[in-house]
Amino acid sequence: MKQLNEEEFKKTFGAGMVSISFDNNLLTYNIDSLNVSLLSPESAYRNDTETFKHQLVKTNSENIFLVFVKDIFDNKINYFLLDLNKEYGLT
């Protein structure tokens, strides 16, 4: 599993995202040797071309989410740290 940069992350959106049910089968990940349990799932989305799923997990910081990005075809999972404060100028 690797961390996506912003360009790689944005390429997974397609023309839009559709809200879906959170995938409870994806419960634990290892990121840079850290075990991350998904205890606070926030929401999940699938892109319009049905090639990627995004699962957002709350962090301890407001408006910052760990996004697990699953490639539906090759079953690979990567991640992106989504900072909505930075993205939308929130405080």
In a domain, 67, yes or no: yes
- Which tokens is 3 given? 């961390």
CB distance 19 to 45 below 8 Å: yes
Q: Is the pLDDT of residue 32 over 70?
A: no
In a domain, 42, yes or no: yes
In a domain, 26, yes or no: yes
From 62, 67, 66, select the one nearest 88 (Cα to Cα). 62
In a domain, 1, yes or no: no
Q: Is the pLDDT of residue 8 over 90?
A: yes
How far from each other are the two terminal CA atoms of the chain, in whole angstroms?
30
In the chain, how many domains are there? Answer: 1
Domain span holding position 64 = 6-88
- For 53-78, how does the pLDDT look when each residue is reduced to its tens digit (9 = 90+)? 999 988 888 888 889 999 999 989 89
Name beta bridge partners: 71: 52
